[in-house]
Amino acid sequence: MHSGLGRRLWWRTRKNSEVDFWEAWLVGAPGTEEWRSDREARLAPDTEIRDPLVRAELERNPAEEISILDVGSGPLTALGYRYPDKTLTIVPVDPLADEYDRLLRDAGLDPPIRTIRVAGEALLEHFGSRRFDIAYAINSLDHSADPFTIISNMVAVVRTGGIVLLRHKRNEGESARYGGMHQWNFDVVDDSLLLWDNAVELNIGSELEGRAVTTASISQGEVIARLVVSESD
Given this model, what pLDDT does residue 232 score? 58
Tens digits of per-residue pLDDT, 16-75? 788 998 999 999 999 999 999 999 999 999 999 999 999 999 999 999 999 999 999 999
8 has pLDDT over 70:
no
13 has pLDDT over 90:
no
DSSP at 228: E
**Angstrom distance (rounded) from CA 166 to CA 168:** 7
224 has pLDDT over 90:
yes
Q: Is 19 helix (H, G, I), strand (E, B) or coil?
A: helix
Tens digits of per-residue pLDDT, 157-208? 999 999 999 999 999 989 887 776 778 999 999 999 999 998 899 999 999 9
12 has pLDDT over 60:
no
Residue 18 sits at φ, ψ, to 5 deg, of -70, -45
Alpha carbon 105 to chain centroid, angstroms: 23
Instruction: Provide the pLDDT confidence category of residue 143 given band limits of 50, 70 and 90.
Output: confident
Residue-wise burial string across 44-67, b where 16 or more C-beta atoms lie within 10 A, e elsewhere: eeebebbeebbeebbeebeeeebb
Instruction: Provide the pLDDT confidence category of residue 233 given band limits of 50, 70 and 90.
Output: low
The domains found in the chain, sorted by start residue, are 4-229 (3.40.50.150)
Tens digits of per-residue pLDDT, 82-105? 999 999 999 999 999 999 999 999
